[in-house]
Amino acid sequence: MGYGHWFLAVAGCAAHQVAWPLPQRSGLLVRLVLLALLGLGVSACASRQDHQSIVSNRSPIKPTEFLQSHADRMATIGMRNNLNSLYRLMDKLYLRNPQEWRKTGLADVGAAKRAVHQAIEQDQPLAELGGRKHVAALGYALSAEYRGDRVGAFIYAIASMLITAHGGRTEFYLIDSLDAQFVHNAARNIEKANWMLANRRDSAGKPWLLSNEISNEGYNLSYAVEFGKIVARLDLLTDVLDERYRRIGVNYAQGVLFLNFLPVQ
């Protein structure tokens, strides 16, 4: 198979399926150009992970992983696992607060969950949030002014905040860039969201949403634990991103210091 046909098989995008035969033996420059074009095809066609990968917490091996660095792969897996954690939190919140999904007018709780999944994964804001997303939606979902499904709005707001902090993507490749500061800020926002869930209350002093519980009947801190997992993943990714850019400078300095020549054959 020539490199051109290999490119088409990996990119897998109908918009780019144009016959482009290349010789079996190509120079380094041709290979680099080919990889760059392949990256553009991936960027245009694969910016979001599929629903099944998120809910199953595992991803099938794909040819496009060739275009992911270790940091890119880590960011992709981290996003997948974080969305999966949010979906688990949604399941638990609906279980303790069944009155919320009933506000949607949908047939059952499964339909309510699917609506939130679709809104998150297809970047379709929930109508009852009035166009609000990420941090604006987060504050609104746990306020006295909001009258809709608080569980769905709360989970959607956190997910949209996470995705926005990652450049609007849930899948990452070599040509993508991630801002470590934004990822760090997202981790701090998750901590605040956890605090809001535990402390935001109505005029009667009752929590807007039942979650963690410490009482004579027992302890249930599973919500805080799940939030803690998300924060830990984000903080680890922040460190990895910081180290990646630091190593670029170190590697360059080493090359200058030791006068490393480039290979000629």
DSSP assignment of 202-213 equals: -TTS-BSS---E
Q: Which pLDDT score, from 0 to 100, does residue 96 have? A: 95
User: What value, to the nearest 5°, has the Cα angle with vertex 149 and ends 107 and 160?
Assistant: 110
Q: Which amino acid is located at 218 in the chain?
A: G
Task: Please state, in angstroms and rounded to a whole number, the distance separating the CA atoms of residues 93 and 119.
Answer: 18
Phi, psi angle pair for 56, to nearest 5°? -90, -10
User: What value, to the nearest 5°, has the Cα angle with vertex 191 and ends 231 and 224?
Assistant: 80
Listed ranges 12-16, 163-167, 217-221; the one with the highest mean pLDDT: 163-167
**How would you classify residue 133: left for phi > 0, otherwise alpha for psi between -120 and 50, otherwise beta?**
beta
C-beta separation of 178 from 75 below 8 A:
yes
Overall size of the chain counted in residues:
265
Helix, coil or strand: residue 169: coil
Q: 176-203 pLDDT, tens per residue?
A: 889 999 999 999 999 999 999 999 999 9
Q: Which pLDDT score, from 0 to 100, does residue 28 have? A: 53
**Judging by beta carbons within 10 Å of its beta carbon (0-12, 13-18, 19+), is residue 250 exposed, middle or buried?**
exposed
Task: Please state, in angstroms and rounded to a whole number, the distance separating the CA atoms of residues 202 and 196.
Answer: 12
Distances (CA, A) of 61 to 53, 74, 171, 178, 198: 11, 14, 13, 23, 39
Q: 239-263 pLDDT, tens per residue?
A: 999 876 554 454 444 454 445 544 4
**How would you classify residue 172: left for phi > 0, otherwise alpha for psi between -120 and 50, otherwise beta?**
beta
Q: Name residues whose C-beta falls within 8 Å of residue 43's C-beta, 6 or more positions apart in sequence.
A: 173, 175, 176
Residue 233 Cα to chain centre, angstroms: 11
Terminal Cα-to-Cα distance of the chain (whole angstroms): 25
| 213-241 average pLDDT score | 88
Q: Which amino acid is located at 182 in the chain?
A: F
Q: 124-169 pLDDT, tens per residue?
A: 989 999 999 889 999 999 999 999 999 999 999 999 999 999 999 9
Domain boundaries, the chain: 3-45, 52-257
